[in-house]
A and B are shown apart, each in its own frame.
Chain A
Amino acid sequence: MKILIVDDFSTMRRIVKNLLRDLGFTNTVEADDGKSALPILEKGNIDFLVTDWNMPGMTGIDLLKAVRADPNLADLPVLMVTAEAKREQIIMAAQAGVNGYVIKPFTAATLKEKIDKIFERIDG
């Protein structure tokens, strides 16, 4: 299981990376916005995408839309971890096809719960 973590703040990437490692996911790669994330995704073998929304260059929602529009990536599970908490934004992400939505600040338990749920649904 290879996971791509996309966030413009390196500390947030490290926090997510450490939490994922605690959950047993040791194989992670990082990118600092949608633009640098896309080529990594296109190269293949990423199984799960965790992305922030508000990033310079290319935002997480645009990355999500690009992923869903790419036939090779359309089924990739995407978890959004973001400070954007407006209802209309959450709805927008849902409509764009996000698999989970976690608002910052979040806890390790929330992250675990959402990841478990996503894989439960995929395996089920």
Chain B
Amino acid sequence: MSKERRLALAKKLVDALEHDDEMGVEGLLNEIDALRENRLFQEIGRLTRQLHDTMASFTVDSKITSMTEYDIPDAKERLKYVMTMTEEAADKTLNVVEELMPVSQQLNHQAKELQDKWSRFLDREMPYQEFKDMSQELSEHFQSSKKSLEDVEQGLNDILMAQSFQDITGQIIRRVITLVQDLETSMVEMIRLSGASLDHQKLEETELPGPAVPGVDDKEGDVAHSQDEVDDLLSSLGF
């Protein structure tokens, strides 16, 4: 309520009182009252809003508390499981590869030996006894390579199945991402309510940056994206 308005009302009231204008006095007093009430309502409105915000901040608080208490430890366990699963898959795959590598090398070796003998036979450079031996070796080769290729097939199947972790770990990681997003929202809200400003200051790096994630770590242009870039940098240093 402006000063001019109050002063005008007061003058009108004095005027009405001096002229014994009872109706006028009543009306003016009501008007003044209404103005005061209006202010009171505004004040109540303000307090209500404040109360609402405070209550909201309490719910944010309790949300963060429950996240800290349940969701974050839960996420840690889930991520540990992801580590275990990926490690198991890598181990399983490596086991099969290490098992099959000699099998494949052996097959290769056998095939090469027989190929050499076979071309000598085709060139008619092979005595009969040697031919007989070769025939025997050939049938042995067919037998053993059948068994070896069955092993290779089985191994490839095992490698195939070992990749099934991707589906499960993907789902778990997606869940953890949702949790991190929720946590972020709650914390931003809490900072907003506390009145502190969100300044986007980067924290000092204390630990090793670790694997550079495309689109995250390479914004400042200080990360090598490929081996070629590493090589270029090193050769520019005289390597």
Contacts and interface: CB of A to CB of B under 8 A. Distances in A.
Interface stretch (A26-34, A35-43, A63-71, A102-110): A102-110
B233 A84 contact: no
A103 B210 CA distance: 11
A54 B224 contact: no
A85 B212 contact: yes
A86 B234 contact: no
Contacts of B87: 9-11
A23 interface: no
B87 to A, nearest CB: 6
A96 interface: no
Interface in A77-115: 83-91, 94, 101-104, 106, 110
Given A87-B222, A90-B224, A18 B97 contact: yes
A101 B98 CA distance: 26
A54 B91 contact: no
Contact of A103 (B91, B222, B230, B239): B230
9 contacts: A9-B87, A10-B87, A59-B208, A84-B208, A85-B211, A89-B208, A101-B234, A103-B230, A106-B227
Nearest to B225: A85
Q: Which interface class (under 10, 10 to 19, 20 to 34, 35 or more) fits B?
A: 20 to 34
Interface residues of A, number: 25
B223 interface: yes
A103 B224 contact: yes
B208 A54 contact: yes
Given A85-B230, A94-B234, A18 B94 contact: yes
B195 interface: no
B90 interface: yes
